[in-house]
Chain A
Amino acid sequence: MRIIPAADVIEAVATMCMESNVELPADVWAKFRECAAREESPSAKEIFRQLLENADLAKETRLPLCQDTGLAVFFVELGEDCRVEGGLREAVNEGVRKGYKDGYLRKSVCDPFTRKNTGDNTPAIIHIDLVPGDRLKIFFMAKGGGSENMSRVTFLSPAQGWPGIKEFVVRRVAEAGPNPCPPTVIGVGIGGNAELSAIIAKKALMRDLDDVHPDPDIAAKEKELLDAINELGIGPMGLGGKTTSLGVKIAVAPCHLASLPLAVNVQCHSARHREVIL
């Protein structure tokens, strides 16, 4: 049994929290440039210009890209032959406390009724999967509230199939309009049950924008959805244009024969995520 020191986890988590909030991932940066070049409307071009300038400035000044530095969301793959000294959850939460404090990041976690802020951005939302081996893989996402509010979980009738799924996803993006800070990234969870569809939709957002789904049929569906969403014409910040979303990522899980669970997780353009292997 390999023992991973808690300090290693704390340090890795704190670093991911701080770095992801000031440095836009390279794939998002590249996609901004690619999409900006395709835009024709002055407002769409101007929004991309501001977003690129914002990314340059955040990197240089170490100010966060966005004031909403998010709920700290983790997908953890824990090898069955290792454990974290003192407990994995506590180490991850301690890393969040440290990262959000040292990085001057906004603490956005509060009680749902009293709305009282916990003051240190914990508890983090941590999904743990046990996997073979003795390594610990931690995916981190700083997930903003404005885009998360536009996410939905629903149940279609199995008879509705792919046309029903496509209709729901595109309509959700249309209804969200300018609210979630387009250009967005859309995570789609198909199958599982109520909670699993939501979890895989969120986890799908950890994939790079240029990552092509290994199943060619699902890869084609991702493209079909992205094309349909961009046809809506919402554009950057809802001011019109060709780029309403930067990418669509689908995740699929088997489901009950009575059900067709469907989750849409909306990610703003500040698609902040990192991963580390210990």
Chain B
Amino acid sequence: MSTYKLTTPLTDEDVCKLAIGDVVLLTGTIYTARDAAHKRLVESLDKGEALPFDLKGALVYYVGPSPAPPGRPIGAAGPTTSYRMDSYAPRLHSLGLKATIGKGKRSDEVKAALTAYKAVYFGATGGAGALLSQCIKAARVIAYEDLGPEAIRELTVVDFPLLVINDTKGGELYVKPKID
């Protein structure tokens, strides 16, 4: 298990060297999107419209942050459960999305897309919202402001700690429960 420092946008070379259990300290720009934002992103693609950010080499963080108190760029900002975005993720990966950040298990379709399109799934520690927000230096809403906590935000992160849960080779870090 290795530790890498990576900067955005991510390349094929960046993600293909990663294996499950590796730690990544990420610096650069990431985009927040969760349930309602994903629905709109895919509706835009269906209509042939441009997306609010460039998917090529991008990372999407599944998070709905709490409001920023005075003097801070963002409130608490830990990951939300990823499976709810599983029906959208393969299509976004096919268009260049290099990684998603969340918590919890992914579907077989998402895992297949990670292999097919050279992308990875990162876990961040669920519930560590105050801790993770310390790595977020700037935040601004770039789309769907009416969705409130579910609006798409552009975040500037420094050394954001990530764990490789699913890699490009079909590996998965989560343990299989000991049950028949």
Distance in angstroms from B67 CB to nearest chain A CB is 5
Q: Say yes or no: A69 contacts B127, CB within 8 Å.
A: no
Q: Which residues from A are CB-within-8-Å of B80?
A: 67-68, 145-146
A105 CB-CB contact with B under 8 Å: yes
Q: Nearest A residue to B65 by beta-carbon distance?
A: A67
| Alpha-carbon distance A47/B69, docked complex (angstroms) | 26
B68 CB-CB contact with A under 8 Å: yes
Q: Say yes or no: B103 contacts A181, CB within 8 Å.
A: yes
The majority secondary structure among interface residues of chain B is loop
* In-complex Cβ contact of B105 among A179, A181, A232 (8 A): A179
| Alpha-carbon distance A181/B126, docked complex (angstroms) | 6
Q: Mark B59-96, 1 if CB is under 8 A from A, else 0.
A: 00001111111001001111011010000000000000
Q: Mark B129-156, 1 if CB is under 8 A from A, else 0.
A: 1110110000000000001111000000
The segment from A57-65, A81-89, A128-136, A203-211 found at the interface with B is A57-65
| Alpha-carbon distance A119/B145, docked complex (angstroms) | 13
A270 CB-CB contact with B under 8 Å: yes
* In-complex Cβ contact of A268 among B127, B147, B177 (8 A): B127
Interface residues on B, range: 35 or more
* In-complex Cβ contact of B127 among A51, A108, A119, A238 (8 A): A51
Distance in angstroms from A103 CB to nearest chain B CB is 9
Which residues in window 6-65 of B have CB below 8 A to A?
Answer: 35-36, 63-65
The segment from A6-14, A169-177, A192-200, A252-260 found at the interface with B is A169-177
Q: Say yes or no: A170 contacts B179, CB within 8 Å.
A: yes
| Alpha-carbon distance A255/B169, docked complex (angstroms) | 51
Q: Say yes or no: A63 contacts B177, CB within 8 Å.
A: no
Q: Most chain-A CB neighbours within 10 Å: which of B65, B66, B75?
A: B66
Q: Say yes or no: B67 contacts A232, CB within 8 Å.
A: no
Which residues in window 215-274 of A have CB below 8 A to B?
Answer: 231-235, 237-240, 268-270
Q: Which residues from A are CB-within-8-Å of B125?
A: 47, 50-51, 54, 237
Q: Say yes or no: B78 contacts A66, CB within 8 Å.
A: yes
* Residues of chain B whose beta carbon lies under 8 Å from any beta carbon of chain A: 35-36, 63-69, 72, 75-78, 80-81, 83, 103-105, 123, 125-131, 133-134, 147-150, 163, 173-175, 177-179
